Amino acid sequence: MNLVTNAADIIFNLIKPLNPQQDTEIVDLLAANGRILAKPVHSPLDFPHWDNSAMDGYAVRYQDVQHSSAEQPVNLEIIAEIPAGYQPKFTLQPGQAARIFTGAVIPHGADTVVMQERTRQEDNQVFILTTPQPGEFVRRKASYYQAGTQLLPAGIKLTAAEIAVLAASQCPQVRVYRRPRVAIFSTGDELVTPEQALQPGQIVDSNKYALAALVSQIGAEPILLGIVKDNPEALEQTITQAVNNADIVISSGGVSVGDYDYVKKILASLGATIHIRSVEMRPGKPLTVATFPQSPIYFGLPGNPAAVLVTFWRFVQPVIRKLSGLSQGWEPEFVKVRSHDELRSDGKRETYIWGSLHLIDGRYEFHKAGGSHSSGNLINLAQTNALALIPVGKTLISPGEDVLVLQLLSF
């Protein structure tokens, strides 16, 4: 049995990210939200594109106004007005000012803007009531970004700010990694779909829905292969179909030691290399991880619904994010917070307890979900957003004590 951290090392090292040459596609910027940039972007534009004003006011020559004050204001002749969107065609001479507005181009000769609240205008004269800083309120050409240098590196996730940057640099389309394809199926003779009437002993296949939501939430494409009976031939057929059509395969159920738990046997018979057979964690002990030559990775998640969610968050989510081309930040991140409740474990396996983080007086606090923490109980996982971790060897975390928590970020 592997410790959780050893299992994580083994699993995360199995993953090679998608190929930046072959595994990419071009998408419109409006469809790029959440996608991973596959190629660094360089822009031929400087930012700002030209010297421009940060304020509504007057463009002046600093030399003219360097001794100006409310008591002894310098007055300048207003020779022009420059709204945003126009290129001034004159050069400001000594003793002159130009009326200017935010975003408008600074005329030749001017080097400083005085905001209008610090001036007084009379006809075509402006009185400067303070001494500005040299260059004040001028947004200098190329001071934010220099044309030709790297604007955005490959391997980052595109969200609002990155998409705005790409739009501003006139990239209406962008090359991103394709979405990883993730095949999902559930195993078990007892499983039915939510539409089917339940017969005695049956249970709805909720794992499919949990996994489909998790996979799409992190930007991958779920391929839903349905319910497979606890039958070696059926399993063999579905596993073969899955590994030939996906980057990652996720099954749930059938990985423990029962007579109908066939997944490990079938994986071995199909020539897979099994890297993980069980992990010292609760829930999730019989987690099984294998690789096939034609597919990066197979996750046999334990069937219990809570085990599915916990093992997905701890192992599968980072794998999908690493595979998807994210160069940084794909690993699970634990934060230390105060526990509001008593948390208990038998101390034998690393234990994950679901609950939620609450902001109390500016500090996060972990609140354990009420109800049963059995790995068969799915109900109280609803509306949780964090998993608290009790390490091997520790049996109790008291209220007020620090605890490590995995935040269940949606993306």
Ligand X SMILES: Nc1nc2c(c(=O)[nH]1)N[C@H]1C(S)=C(S)[C@@H](COP(=O)(O)OP(=O)(O)OC[C@H]3O[C@@H](n4cnc5c(N)ncnc54)[C@H](O)[C@@H]3O)O[C@H]1N2
324 touches 37 (CB < 8 A): no
- Does 252 engage in binding with ligand X (CB under 6 A)? yes
Task: Identify residues 357-376 at the interface with ligand MOO (CB under 6 A).
Answer: 375
Residue (48 or 302) nearer to ligand MOO, CB: 302
What minimum distance in Å lies between the beta carbon of 224 and ligand MOO? 23
Can you tell me which residue has the tokens 């200098």? 140
Judged by CB under 5 A, the stretch of 257-265, 316-324, 326-334, 361-369 that binds Mg ion is 257-265
Q: If binding is defined by CB under 6 A, does position 253 make contact with ligand X?
A: yes
Q: Please, which of residues 206-245 interact with ligand X by CB under 6 A?
A: 206-207
> What is the footprint of ligand X within residues 374-403 (CB under 6 A)?
375-376
What are the CB-based long-range contacts (under 8 Å, 24+) for 69-76?
A: 69/129, 69/130, 69/131, 70/129, 70/130, 73/120, 73/127, 73/128, 73/129, 74/127, 74/128, 75/125, 75/126, 75/127, 75/128, 76/125, 76/126, 76/128
Identify any residues that bridge with 354 across adjacent strands, giving them in sequence order. Answer: 387
Nearest CB to ligand X, comparing residues 57 and 300: 300
Q: In the stretch 282-311, what mask flags binding to ligand X with x, by CB under 6 A?
A: -x-xx---------------xxxx-x----
β-pairing, 343-344 vs 396-397, is antiparallel
Gap between the terminal Cα atoms of the chain? 30
Segment contacting Mg ion (CB under 5 A): 59-67, 123-131, 259-267, 341-349? 259-267
Q: Out of ligand MOO, ligand X, Mg ion, none, which partner does residue 257 contact, by CB within 5 to 8 A per kind?
A: ligand X
Identify which of residues 115 and 204 has a Cβ nearer to Mg ion in the complex. 204
Which one of residues 257, 336, 383, 410 is an interface residue with ligand X (CB under 6 A)?
Answer: 257
The window from 29-37, 43-51, 258-266, 385-393 that contacts Mg ion (CB under 5 A) reads: 258-266
Among positions 135, 258, 371, 399, the unique one binding Mg ion when judged by CB under 5 A: 258
182 vs 186: CA distance, rounded Å: 13
Taking the C-alpha atoms of residue 131 and residue 74, their distance in angstroms, rounded to an integer, is: 10
Which tokens belong to 233?
A: 């031939």
Pairwise CA distance, residues 94 & 72, whole Å: 18
Residues 268-297 that bind ligand MOO (CB under 6 A): 282-285
Judged by CB under 6 A, the chain residues 305 through 324 that form the site for ligand MOO are 307
Q: How far apart are CA 244 and CA 273, in angstroms?
A: 16
CA distance 285 to 270: 23
Taking CB within 5 to 8 Å according to partner kind, which of ligand MOO, Mg ion, ligand X, none is near residue 136?
A: none
The residue from 186, 295, 317, 345 that contacts ligand X (CB under 6 A) is 186
Least spacing, CB of residue 346 vs ligand X, in Å: 12
Using CB distances below 5 to 8 A depending on partner kind, what does residue 188 bind out of Mg ion, ligand X, ligand MOO, none? ligand X
Number of residues that bind Mg ion (CB under 5 A): 3
Work out whether 256 is an interface residue with Mg ion (CB under 5 A): yes
Instruction: Give me the residues that bind ligand MOO (CB under 6 A), please.
Output: 282-285, 302, 304, 307, 375
Instruction: Give me the residues that bind ligand X (CB under 6 A), please.
Output: 186, 188, 190-191, 203, 205-207, 252-258, 261, 283, 285-286, 302-305, 307, 375-376
